[in-house]
Structure 1
């Protein structure tokens, strides 16, 4: 496949995916506020190295993947990822997640570890340990204040106002040294202007605070389960969303009995895969070579 966009279905939803190359599958999950466009450097490099690189537009980030019941609990999105992986390959795939995509990747690896040859998470550490660090770290609480703002009814209008100025400001704050390509910002803003996307994206954060529904309990069970898939955690050394020391402290070997390595990417902020693609691609290819599908 050479830059082909295809559609995959699961649970009555349709997901657009960008596929490049042939070979063992690498499944790439984007975060907030983002689109698969920030994986452009990974798609090309992985395809050239002999992989089928596939970037998924996550649940809710297009009208066709917005469920009627409005369920955006992590367990449901983990089920999406497992189904997409199975549709792409009978063999285990490599799973890569950034930001919210990292959260979902942890959940998917816990849900169906046999589906994944390796796991790479970027920018967001183990969700339970991050919650513990957040509770004890005033500086991180300040950095994450936007999460509490997202709980406000009607906040969708604020993130869409003035050509999504709020979302652009998040990118600039989280990656202060990055000369952000206009095309990436444009792709993100165009996505958030699609019907229902802003509501879906904020639902990720709102439903993360649910502790009583059956889906919330299923999600909690996944997040507290040890991850047996070999895991590489990457963060930008200059990430202003989740600080490097918080990320590293929340990645504990005891939670990853399948093996854990962590690396900080020098000179990169929150969007390390787009800011320092050469360094991130080298780390990915080294990891996949050491954990073949």
Structure 2
């Protein structure tokens, strides 16, 4: 069963899909034995995990499963553009964890897709004591790659990432305001997941979220903050994987993050304990939407292995 609850970080309030009612989440006696956070990416929202949640519930009937809307995806969590750095958003996740677990006495697992993956890496980097394991989807580690490796080993990825430039100017990203069935949002979903036959209900739900007041400006600010000169810390998320065991999942047909990046990461992380890099065939960037059973089973196996 799905419920809508609220989480907070200071003045910001976040809408959250939860499998427990809000009164149960904040009850003195917890009915759950672990917490699983599902952190969405862009262009997407927290309904991204709607097909994964039932499978996680079936396998972890006593887990508290929370899928929050990220900072800026509703008016109650919006703020100045400079406050959309990865480090600032990681503080939201820290606050959420502390809110549902005032005393860290139960396992916490992060599952992040796209920007949610980057945020999960950052949380594990700066608050490793709060996270017991994590699974990242569609974005590999990246923090250990250098520019010369992009230039000489994976130059195609630089081209694939050129959409970052679109998010730097409203003149360009305003294309995401288009409505109808053949829009820029459709183009991104089709290009990034070429085999994904998504429903109009799925993409229209995301479009509806992005068209709410201030959301498109806030969600694209994530990209602009990466390019801010003084945001050096926000571009690195060095994780000690011995502290936070991590499964890095990608899709082989991903048009946003090519398979060669995962192959390079697998090579670079081969001697690093408690991290696994894996690509899945026949799925692209939205792999958890495309094949929720396969992705959920991988998440379940990783959580059980690292419980």
Counterparts of 2:95 and 2:301 in 1: how far apart (Å)? Answer: 26
Corresponding residue SS for 1:223: coil
Corresponding residue SS for 1:41: coil
How many pairs are equivalent? 287
Quote the residue 2:195 is aligned against. 177
TM-score (norm 1): 0.91
Counterparts of 1:225 and 1:48 in 2: how far apart (Å)? Answer: 30
Counterpart among 144, 151, 159 of residue 161 in structure 2: 144
Q: Does 1:66 align with 2:81?
A: no
Q: Does 1:223 align with 2:237?
A: yes
TM-score (norm 2): 0.87
Pick which of 85-94 and 28-37 moved more: 85-94
Counterparts of 2:227 and 2:146 in 1: how far apart (Å)? Answer: 11
Corresponding residue SS for 2:51: helix
Q: CA RMSD in A?
A: 2.1
Q: Does 1:201 align with 2:215?
A: no
Say if 2:3 and 2:17, in contact at 8 Å, map to a contact too: yes
| Structure with greater proportional helix content | 1
Counterparts of 1:110 and 1:252 in 2: how far apart (Å)? Answer: 21
Counterpart among 25, 36, 47 of residue 35 in structure 2: 25
Matches for 1:59-208 after TM superposition, within 5 Å = 59-68=71-80, 70-89=82-101, 90=104, 91-129=106-144, 132=147, 133-136=149-152, 137-163=154-180, 165-208=183-226
Counterpart among 240, 244, 247 of residue 259 in structure 2: 244
Q: 1:243-283 CA distances to partner (integer Å, 9 max, x unpaired)?
A: 11212313566599561012211211111111111111111
Unaligned runs of 5+ in 2: 21-31
Say if 1:118 and 1:291, in contact at 8 Å, map to a contact too: yes
Residues 252 and 204 of structure 1: is their aligned pair in 2 closer, same or farther, counting only changes over 3 Å? Answer: farther
Consecutive aligned runs of 4 or more in structure 1 exceeding 6 Å deviation: none
Say if 2:124 and 2:239, in contact at 8 Å, map to a contact too: no
Counterparts of 1:255 and 1:224 in 2: how far apart (Å)? Answer: 16
- Higher Rg: 2
Corresponding residue SS for 2:283: coil
Displacement of 1:19: 0.7
Q: 1:93-147 CA distances to partner (integer Å, 9 max, x unpaired)?
A: 1000000000000000111111111011011011324564544433212211211
